[in-house]
Amino acid sequence: MSRNLYDLIGLAAGICFILALKGLSSPKSARRGNLIGAVGATVATVIVFFYANEGKALNNQTLILAAIAFGTLVGVPAARKVQMTQMPQLVALFNGVGGGAAALVAIVEYLKLGDTASTAVVIATVFTVIVGCVSFSGSIVTFLKLQEIMTTRPVIFPLGRQIIALTLIGVLVSGGWVISAGGTTPLLVNGLLSLLFGVLFVLPVGGADVPIVISLLNAFTGLTVAASGYVLQTTLLIVAGTLVGASGTILTRLMADAMGRSLFGTLFGAFTAKAQASVGETEARPIKSGSPDDVAILLNYAQRVVIVPGFGLAVAQAQQTVRELADLLASKGVEVAYGIHPVAGRMPGHMNVLLAEANVPYEQLVEMEEINPTFPQTDVVLVVGANDVVNPAAKTTPGCPIYGMPILDVALAGNVIFLKRSMRPGFAGIENELLYETKTTLLFGDAKDSLTKVVSALKAL
């Protein structure tokens, strides 16, 4: 394959990546965008085998094919079998693997070039190693937090900020050492310190903010891939990495705004926040619980109902049942909408994808800014497995983990129904005072089972 043809096909693959991002910007076109991106990635991988660089054949083809086969055998079953509730963890792992792979490729290329590497290539290599290693180790910590293998609360320790700052200085100094002196030892030291910094970077982040960090690490991975593309002199990698880095950065900013805090506050706010009471036994307080029949009666005589989905909906796999409930209400003349918080669930778009699986009409999915003004005219809000995104503490309790985060103002509605398994706090680990309000009715149990009973009771009215 000639260089011109190779570049032309690479340009087509790059266009596929751009179209994929455009498609992913809307739930209606997300599936198509994902497929276009997959086609572009496949083309970009396959054309490598048909291009001989300056007359030299591609080396290590057996190892490359074996690696592709291994990745396919692991990746396809993992992607097909993963539950929607575990999708954020999978995304975190994919982010980390991408950053780690780019760092390893840059290290191998640096060792192969040796003293012939230009200063620009060495700088790009150091950048790739630093950011790639931070993305890899940081993503592993986000996976452990989301999987609840480790605590989801911020992990802080004495002199934490100072230790993190010293580690970052060590990363930068060792990077300068590689650029000025070269050699394998400085590069390995730089990589190890970067891995340590990635862990320390994510530990202070609380569970509610982990999705923001996943998005940030995704941007890091994109920048790493772009830098490795410069090292390898591969334009397509530069294009793909830049697109991922730019889109990840924009998404991180949007998510931080949705949480109502600065990115710095998200990452290091735990070191300055006031101490919070530990989650555990709380003083018994009166609540109003109801039966499926009670909930059905409230819904039957409502004129407007807003459904607020949360992570509990995903855990129970109740999206089909909630769609059935919404259709039944609509057949009775009830106006139904879904209130979607930008960070509901544990990753951006989590609820949109979940409800799309149940073929919920897109026009019924209403973003927070549009739905909030309508709550005073809403008769019943049905909160299914959500907590933090409707918790008034975000407005009333300075110093709490979610303070300053814009929320869905469900407290303004006439009645609020919470579907919960127990009185356990949400992912942020704080109480929701709305649960104790007189207008709030709690329906305990598995969300899918509870909704099924509500549907049956509603049909009988």
446 is a catalytic site residue: no
Contact 360, 326 (CB under 8 A): yes
Contact 81, 132 (CB under 8 A): no
Q: Residue 9 is encoded by which pair of tokens?
A: 């096909």
d(CA 268, CA 263): 9
Q: Torsion-angle region of residue 362: left (phi > 0), alpha (psi -120 to 50) or beta?
A: alpha
Rg of the chain on CA atoms, in Å: 25
* Exposed e or buried b per residue across 244-281, where buried means at least 16 C-beta atoms within 10 angstroms of its C-beta: bbebbbebbeebbebbebebebbbbbbeebeebeeeee
Judge residue 164's burial from the number of C-beta atoms within 10 Å of its C-beta, 0-12 exposed, 13-18 middle, 19 or more buried: buried
- Distance of alpha carbon 392 from its chain centroid, rounded? 24
DSSP 173-224: HHHHHHHHH--HHHHHHHHHHHHHHHHHHHTT--GGGHHHHHHHHHHHHHHH
Q: Which of 7, 257, 388, 446 is catalytic?
A: 388
Q: How many helices (H) and strands (E) would you count in the chain?
A: 17, 6
Q: Which residues are catalytic?
A: 388
